[in-house]
Amino acid sequence: MSVSSTSVRMTVNGRPVEAEAQALTTLAEYLAVVLEAETPERRRAEGLEGPAVVMMNGESVKAGRVLAVSAASAQIRSFGGLARHDGVLTPLQRAFVEAGAMLCPDCAPSLVMSALDLLNRNPIPSGEEVRDWLEDSLCPVSDADRAVSAVLAAAAATRS
């Protein structure tokens, strides 16, 4: 039942993966290994820099604040796993790009993942609800107005 390093399996972006993790290996460190995101550029593409928000069993979590062993058997989706393999963006990603809201390369992917959690729970949020939801995730480089309008546009696009 107890070992200092263990093999941890989970499903990442639809793909079963397995890698060694120690008890204090974070989910962010684990994902960097299984997604082969060794460089800052690759980690940014996967959304593993900054707050490193990923979806875990359908809820957003900060990957640096969850242990890999705690995420064993979980379904994980990273920012890099949102777009289709042929590069077609989701409506939410497209809305962020069109609103000019992908401002901070470290934090913007996490804003998108956090907004995805909001839209999963509340598909028709008000502007105020979006602002409240994202408020604590906005770094100084981000622009709250652009992020809010992107989320509202994505919600409208999904409804139509």
Site for other proteins, rule CB under 8 A = 1-6, 22-24, 26, 51, 53, 59-62, 65-67, 69-70, 72, 114, 117-118, 121, 132-133, 135-140
Bridge partner list, 21: 6
Minimum distance from residue 33 beta carbon to other proteins (Å): 16
Tell me how far apart the alpha carbons of residues 82 and 90 are, in angstroms, rounded to a whole number: 7
Minimum distance from residue 51 beta carbon to other proteins (Å): 7
Minimum distance from residue 87 beta carbon to other proteins (Å): 27
Nearer to other proteins, 98 or 117 (CB): 117
Nearer to other proteins, 38 or 132 (CB): 132
Reported as type and span, the H/E element at residue 158 is: helix 144-159
- For residue 60, give every residue at least 6 positions away whose Cβ sits within 8 Å of its Cβ, in sequence order, or none: 53, 54, 113, 114, 116, 117
What secondary structure, in 3-state letters, does 36-101 show? Answer: CCCCHHHHHHHCCCCCCEEEECCEEEEHHHCECHHHCCCEEECHHHCCCCCCCCCHHHHHHHHCCC
Nearer to other proteins, 37 or 115 (CB): 115
Minimum distance from residue 65 beta carbon to other proteins (Å): 6
Nearer to other proteins, 67 or 98 (CB): 67
Minimum distance from residue 109 beta carbon to other proteins (Å): 13
β 53-56/59-62 pair status:
antiparallel
Nearest to 32 by CA among 14, 13, 47: 47
Nearer to other proteins, 69 or 103 (CB): 69
